[in-house]
């Protein structure tokens, strides 16, 4: 007899999602025990880490990951990570366990009230009416996750897996394709607007982070002689940041954006919102008289935007065509230079010192994951993303993504070096992930900038002028000690000399490393933010 479980595995095989990321409970026993040899399994010790690892894996592979969560507790614990996956536009197929269908009407122990539990963050949610509909629902979830770019959820009662399947044509066997348009309406208008501009500029974002789009944007920027800015709070880099046309990262507030774009009368935004902000500030998003054009593959991003014209299409396709049509200009970009930072004798280590060492020694194809809010601006100034997928962060802003995502990225891209730059406060939100890195021999370098507190919160409290912050520092926390307890090798670093030596030993062979390493680096608590 072919069961619903057997048919589901066939769906997973067809879509290439044969690795299951999970932290199981009793409602998952019937699905997960006795897995076929070709179905892989990756355990994390908290559901936030499960979804973070799966999000990293899917990001590296460019396709959906499969996640299995345990009824109410599992789905609720994963809520923040699912929000990050949605905001980062990462497709996930999420199967959530439910109590036995045969007595759900009597509200048994562990029966989940799952509908709406994580709000609108899933792009699609379903609980199949019959057990036999489960494989088709999971196939539909794959389609929804890909086309809507986010997590799609299927709730499956625990007894459904053993029920007989109904082999049939239809949704479980359907292959959905979205063709690439050969022509684009309005392309001539975009080209004309750029040609008529006195001084065009380009803003790029996470939606432009792939090899073809980088190549198209380089060609377009060079032809226009336009500076290229990276969106603020972007999940990924949309342009090679060591290219002469790269101007830097836009500030997170309207006044800063207006200053950065003051000399430009037309701004083309590619693969990014227009324009994502942090704290509210009065005034317009751009200088008076500036026209904003947007190219995005996401309809919601266009509808949220403050653009004058938005084109919903694949950015690489549009930019390639624009680069062929616009009139070339003779403009030389101004060189950018960030001074090197080395500590004076007796001076404590600061994030800038760490980042300068990374900038000099990181292999070019490194995937760098960031979750260090207080030092992120300094990281952007000093460590450029030089290849696609060179930079990854959490666009949603919640903590707990960086550490497990780095593990998933390395699992999904095993031949690339992977470095996670984390704050000590940030790392504690996903610290359980270190066990998974050690157990599955995942060679990530975790760099923890230990300032002994929530430095970004301290700086924001100081700026508010509203009085003393009530939260204490936690200087007694040592992530290197925690890492050792989870089986992950770790070192506590206090000097520039120690750090230089360790990075010199580790970075050249990082791509092939099969053991994680955590560097717990003490840095001064007065790190800048802004």
Instruction: For 320-379, write each residue's pLDDT tens digit.
Output: 999 999 999 877 666 666 667 777 777 889 999 999 999 999 999 999 999 998 899 999
At residue 360, the 3 state secondary structure works out as: helix
Pair (208, 285) in one structural domain: yes
Region 16-35: mean pLDDT is 95
Pairwise CA distance, residues 415 & 129, whole Å: 43
Pairwise CA distance, residues 517 & 480, whole Å: 10
Over the stretch 11-25, which tens digit does the pLDDT of each residue have? 999 999 999 999 999
Highest mean predicted confidence (pLDDT) among 54-58, 179-183, 272-276: 54-58
Residue 335 lies in a domain: no
Pair (58, 93) in one structural domain: yes
Residue 343 lies in a domain: no
Pair (54, 163) in one structural domain: yes
Task: Indicate the pLDDT class of residue 528, thresholds 50, 70 and 90.
Answer: low
Pair (139, 200) in one structural domain: no
**Which pLDDT value is given to residue 526?**
65
394 near 345, Cβ under 8 Å?
no
pLDDT surpasses 50 at 10: yes
Q: What is the mean pLDDT of the chain?
A: 91
Which residues share a beta bridge with 311?
295
**Which pLDDT value is given to residue 467?**
83
Pair (36, 162) in one structural domain: yes
Over the stretch 216-237, which tens digit does the pLDDT of each residue have? 999 999 999 999 999 998 999 9
pLDDT surpasses 50 at 529: no
Over the stretch 408-464, which tens digit does the pLDDT of each residue have? 999 999 999 999 999 999 999 999 999 999 999 999 999 999 998 887 788 778 888
Strands, E assignment, 265-331: 266-270, 291-296, 309-312
Domain CATH number, residue 361: 3.40.50.970
Residue 480 lies in a domain: yes
**Which pLDDT value is given to residue 184?**
61
Pair (313, 410) in one structural domain: no
Region 21-31: mean pLDDT is 94
**Which pLDDT value is given to residue 530?**
44
Residue 276 lies in a domain: yes
At residue 288, the 3 state secondary structure works out as: coil
**Which pLDDT value is given to residue 97?**
95
For 214, the domain range is 187-325
Pick the range with the lowest mean pLDDT from 106-120, 239-253, 440-454, 516-530. Answer: 516-530
Residue 344 lies in a domain: no
pLDDT surpasses 90 at 141: yes
């Amino acid at each position: 007899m072919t069961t619903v479980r057997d048919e589901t595995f066939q769906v997973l095989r067809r879509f290439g999602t044969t690795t299951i990321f999970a932290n199981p409970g009793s409602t998952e026993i019937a699905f997960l025990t006795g897995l076929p040899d070709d179905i892989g399994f990756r355990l994390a010790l908290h559901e936030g880490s499960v979804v973070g690892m799966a999000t990293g894996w899917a990001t590296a592979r460019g396709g959906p990951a499969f996640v299995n969560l345990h009824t109410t507790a599992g789905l609720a614990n994963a809520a923040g990570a699912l929000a990050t996956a949605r905001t980062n536009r990462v497709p996930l197929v999420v199967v959530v366990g439910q109590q036995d269908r045969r007595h759900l009407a009597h509200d048994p122990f562990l029966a989940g009230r799952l509908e709406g539990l994580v709000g609108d963050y899933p792009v699609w949610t379903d609980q199949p009416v019959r057990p036999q509909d489960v494989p088709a629902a999971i196939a539909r979830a794959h389609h929804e996750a890909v086309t809507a770019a986010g997590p799609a959820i299927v709730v499956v009662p625990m007894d459904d897996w053993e029920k007989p399947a109904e082999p049939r044509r239809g949704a479980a066997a359907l292959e959905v394709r979205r063709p690439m348009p050969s022509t684009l309406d309005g392309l001539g208008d975009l080209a004309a607007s750029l040609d008529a501009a006195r001084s065009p500029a380009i803003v790029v974002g996470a939606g432009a982070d792939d090899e073809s789009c980088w190549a198209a944007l380089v060609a377009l920027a060079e032809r226009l002689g336009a500076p290229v800015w990276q969106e603020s709070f972007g999940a990924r880099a949309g342009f090679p940041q060591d290219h002469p046309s790269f101007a830097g990262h836009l500030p997170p507030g309207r006044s800063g954006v207006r200053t950065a774009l003051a000399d430009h009368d037309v701004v083309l935004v590619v693969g990014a919102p227009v324009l994502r902000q942090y704290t509210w500030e009065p005034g317009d998003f751009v200088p008076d008289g500036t026209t904003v054009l947007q190219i995005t593959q996401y309809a919601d991003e266009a509808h949220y935007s403050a653009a004058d014209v938005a084109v919903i299409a694949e950015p690489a396709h549009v930019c390639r065509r624009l680069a062929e049509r616009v009139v070339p200009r003779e403009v030389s970009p101004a060189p950018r230079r960030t001074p090197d930072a080395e500590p004076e004798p007796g001076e404590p280590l600061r994030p800038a010192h760490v980042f300068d060492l990374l900038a000099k020694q990181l292999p070019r194809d490194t995937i760098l994951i960031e979750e260090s809010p207080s030092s992120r601006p300094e990281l952007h100034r000093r460590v450029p993303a030089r290849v696609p997928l060179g930079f990854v962060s959490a666009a949603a802003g919640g903590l707990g993504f960086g550490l497990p995502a780095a593990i998933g990225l390395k699992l999904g891209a095993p031949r690339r070096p992977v470095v996670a730059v984390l704050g000590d406060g940030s790392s504690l939100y996903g610290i359980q992930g270190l066990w998974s890195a050690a157990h599955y021999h995942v060679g990530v370098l975790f760099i923890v900038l230990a300032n002994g507190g929530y430095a970004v919160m301290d700086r924001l409290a100081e700026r508010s002028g509203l009085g003393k912050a009530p939260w204490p520092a936690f200087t007694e926390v040592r992530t290197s000690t925690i890492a050792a307890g989870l089986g992950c090798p770790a070192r506590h670093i206090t000097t520039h000399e120690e750090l230089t030596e360790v990075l010199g030993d580790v970075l050249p062979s990082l791509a092939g490393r099969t053991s994680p390493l955590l560097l717990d680096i003490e840095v001064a608590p007065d790190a800048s933010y802004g």
